Structure 1
Amino acid sequence: MTNKKGSDGRYRYRVCIGKDESGKPKYKSFYGTTAREARAAAEAYRAALGKGMDPAQAKATLATLYDNLIAAKKAKGIGQKSLDRYEDNKNHWGPLLEHPAADLRTADFQKVLNALADWHDGKPPLSHFTLSNLRSSAKAAYELAIPEIVQYNPIVKTTCPAGADPEPREPISEEQQRWIRETPHRAQRAAMLLLYSGLRRGEATALTWADVDLDAATITVNSGYNFHNQKTKKPKTAAGRRVVNIPRILVDYLKTQQDGCLYVLHTVKGRRMTEQAWKTLWSSYMADLNVKYGYNGAESKKRPGGLPMRIEPFTPHQLRHTFCTLMYFAGVDVLTARDQMGHKDISVTLGIYTSLDKKFKKKKINRLDSYLRKQTG
């Protein structure tokens, strides 16, 4: 390590970082307004080399860090949906992607997070959940790059803004639940299963009759289905592997549905449901429900130009959310509900229960008012 004061008044320290192809020493220079400042920068670099930093990757960009993370996640076999989410997170950082990752600081990331939490360039704010996911992905990208590319993680000191309120995931109404119970349709089996077990759509798609024990009134969830890769997959977390206790109404219904096929839910040819099969099935289901309950059966869904939707359609995921809501009304404790739903973090279940508490607290107080009036009347 050598030092020298240049003609511009700055001090320079040079560190030998190896030899070139001809065997001559290669040096890297560090500058400072004082000899101590230049030396400190040089020593920090030398210490980084000792910790495993690769000088050849010193200018690797934030985009490179994300690409490395996505490649690592893909090697672990995570689903395409999750990989796409990492790609979306990457793109949210905009201009920062082209900057050397080692040069970016906490303030750079905080500025972007704050901008995304508010209206920006005509775009609505992101939710706190999305912002938190974005921050977590960047943190993981930096963690993977230590110590070869970067020496510290600037994301750790950032704060996730509140962002926009998340869109509510409303459960379906009691009337819509009655539609499911009372309307025969090829999709009724899927709707009954999701409504009264809380399974995710991928879990329901992977379900076989061997996983269903009608005597014990349980469903064992061992796997899910990746619609993009068209392959079964293990649950992402230990919480996903679970035994779901199902109510008698679903037990009695499923006893009438055993048809000799391997899969509980399947196409008309007995094959596993695909993404397109789900879309076709559900579209037909909503159209039939619309005819029966929106038009009292007086119209045909094949009417020229289509039949306008008079009912409120619902999605398969709403049925899962409704199952959690039913447990809340039945007085099922939040720990049991978490296990039934397969939530990794109890805060997810608590969030649903808390939201329902707020929504129905007024009704509960009104019941108290009615009771007190009877007592004092």
Structure 2
Amino acid sequence: MAANKKGTDGRYRYRVNIGKDADGKPKYKNFYGTTAREARAAAEAYRISLGKGADPSQMDATLATLYDNLIAAKRAKGIGQKSLDRYEDNKNHWGPLLNRPAASLRSADFQQVLNALADWHDGQPPLSHYTLSNLRSSAKAVYDLAIPEVVQYNPIPKTTCPAGTPPEVREPITEEQQRWIRETPHKAQRAAMLMLYSGLRRSEATALTWADVDLQDATITVNNGYDFRAKRSKAPKTAAGVRVVNVPKVLVDYLRTQQDGCLYVLHNDKGKRMTEQGWKRLWQSYMCDLNIKYGHQGAVNKHDPAGVPMVIDTFTPHQLRHTFCTLMYFAGVDVMTARDQMGHKDISVTLGIYTSLDKKFKKKKINRLDSYLKKTC
């Protein structure tokens, strides 16, 4: 490490040898400071980082480059496009930090952005705690991958994830929509009935075989799910995912009429398990038919070239799972049992649903009291 005298601009310079160029001549990186000590400290820190494995050609890489490196690594591992898009979205949230050298960013820089995203900014609403947490986790992964070639430490663990907005509670479907499912024959009816009255996740329903269904005892055993990307069964993420679900008589009676000799409870026309695209097509067709029957009272042709306006409130497969939890609440099933039935790892998830419903239910009770008092007073 060589020192130079004070320059004409008033700064001190120290330089570190970082190898040789293509012609075999020594290459140096310069470090400046308002004092000799400051310049020397910066040069010494750089020299130490080289000793720890830093790559001189990468040490000026921006945060955007680090995100691109992580996305490339995830793509090489074969993760789905949806997950890759989420990393890209997370990258863009960092805004002004993206073009700065990653090694120069500190915890305070990231904390400032996180705090801004947790509040209204530039006319944009605040992000939820879940989104902020996911954003913070992605940045941590970005830095972990870059150590020690690009950066020497990870500033993210010293940040705190802001509260953000509360997560949006998925609304259960209405009693009318539940009736639609029970009374409308369709290829998707079996899937809808299954998820509505068992609370299975879509991946669990896809992996379900008739051997897992005990109609005599009115139970469904959940042992695994289905990985749509890898096209194979997968173990549940947590031990809570392996469970025996007690199902109501309405589902038992329906499933007795559905046994078709196929291995899987839900399957395509060839008897194979449903694919991601297969689910999408099936559900679109289902919502279209429900819309024509109940939204337009059958007075339109679904093949009309002009299209058929969607006038009903559509619903997703996951809403059916949420509705099952809601049905248990109104049936008086205790929260511990509901957690086991749903396969929630953390009871706070079940409690969140029950608490939300409890507030609405109590509000209705008070409204009834108001109505009664108006009549008697």
Establish whether TM, by shorter chain, passes 0.5.
yes
Partners in 2 of 1:73 and 1:233 — Cα distance? Answer: 21
How far has the Cα of 1:170 moved from its partner?
A: 0.4
Identify which range, 254-263 or 117-126, moves more after superposition: 117-126
Identify which range, 115-124 or 316-325, moves more after superposition: 115-124
Q: Is the 8 A contact 1:230 1:274 kept in 2?
A: no
Q: Is the 8 A contact 2:107 2:158 kept in 1?
A: yes
Q: Partner of 2:213 in structure 1?
A: 212
Q: Is the 8 A contact 1:18 1:25 kept in 2?
A: yes
Count of matched residue pairs: 372
Q: Partner of 1:202 in structure 2?
A: 203
Q: Partner of 1:222 in structure 2?
A: 224
Confirm or deny that 1:29 pairs with 2:30: yes
Q: Partner of 1:7 in structure 2?
A: 7
Report the TM-score, using the length of structure 1 for normalisation.
0.82
Where 2:98 maps in the other structure, the secondary structure is helix
What per-residue deviation string (whole Å, max 9, x for no partner) do you get for residues 149-168 of structure 1?
A: 11222333334344445444
Q: How is 1:40-51 mapped onto 2 (pairs within 5 angstroms)?
A: 40-51=41-52
Go from structure 1 to structure 2 and tell me whether the alpha carbon gap of 1:64 and 1:214 turns closer, same or farther (over 3 Å shift): farther
Report the TM-score, using the length of structure 2 for normalisation.
0.82
Confirm or deny that 1:237 pairs with 2:232: no
Where 2:14 maps in the other structure, the secondary structure is strand
* Ranges in structure 2 where 5+ consecutive residues have no aligned partner: 373-377
Q: Partner of 1:261 in structure 2?
A: 262
Identify which range, 124-133 or 160-169, moves more after superposition: 160-169
Go from structure 1 to structure 2 and tell me whether the alpha carbon gap of 1:301 and 1:266 turns closer, same or farther (over 3 Å shift): farther
Partners in 1 of 2:114 and 2:302 — Cα distance? Answer: 48
Where 1:136 maps in the other structure, the secondary structure is helix
Confirm or deny that 1:143 pairs with 2:144: yes
Q: Partner of 1:83 in structure 2?
A: 84
Question: Amino acid of the residue matched to residue 144 of structure 2?
Answer: E
Q: Is the 8 A contact 1:239 1:339 kept in 2?
A: no
Q: Is the 8 A contact 2:196 2:320 kept in 1?
A: yes
What per-residue deviation string (whole Å, max 9, x for no partner) do you get for residues 155-188 of structure 1?
A: 3333434444544410012232233223332221
Q: Is the 8 A contact 2:223 2:236 kept in 1?
A: no
Go from structure 1 to structure 2 and tell me whether the alpha carbon gap of 1:88 and 1:303 turns closer, same or farther (over 3 Å shift): closer
Where 2:70 maps in the other structure, the secondary structure is helix
* Ranges in structure 1 where 5+ consecutive residues have no aligned partner: 372-377
Identify which range, 360-369 or 187-196, moves more after superposition: 360-369
Q: Partner of 1:103 in structure 2?
A: 104
How far has the Cα of 1:224 moved from its partner?
A: 1.8
Confirm or deny that 1:323 pairs with 2:339: no
Partners in 2 of 1:298 and 1:74 — Cα distance? Answer: 46
Identify which range, 130-139 or 261-270, moves more after superposition: 261-270
Go from structure 1 to structure 2 and tell me whether the alpha carbon gap of 1:338 and 1:19 turns closer, same or farther (over 3 Å shift): farther
Go from structure 1 to structure 2 and tell me whether the alpha carbon gap of 1:205 and 1:104 turns closer, same or farther (over 3 Å shift): same
Go from structure 1 to structure 2 and tell me whether the alpha carbon gap of 1:42 and 1:213 turns closer, same or farther (over 3 Å shift): farther
Partners in 2 of 1:112 and 1:268 — Cα distance? Answer: 50
Go from structure 1 to structure 2 and tell me whether the alpha carbon gap of 1:303 and 1:15 turns closer, same or farther (over 3 Å shift): closer
Q: Is the 8 A contact 2:107 2:155 kept in 1?
A: yes
Question: Amino acid of the residue matched to residue 175 of structure 2?
Answer: E
How far has the Cα of 1:259 moved from its partner?
A: 0.6
Question: Amino acid of the residue matched to residue 285 of structure 2?
Answer: S
Q: Is the 8 A contact 2:243 2:343 kept in 1?
A: no
How far has the Cα of 1:139 moved from its partner?
A: 1.7
Q: Partner of 2:271 in structure 1?
A: 270
Q: Is the 8 A contact 2:54 2:149 kept in 1?
A: yes
How far has the Cα of 1:192 moved from its partner?
A: 0.8
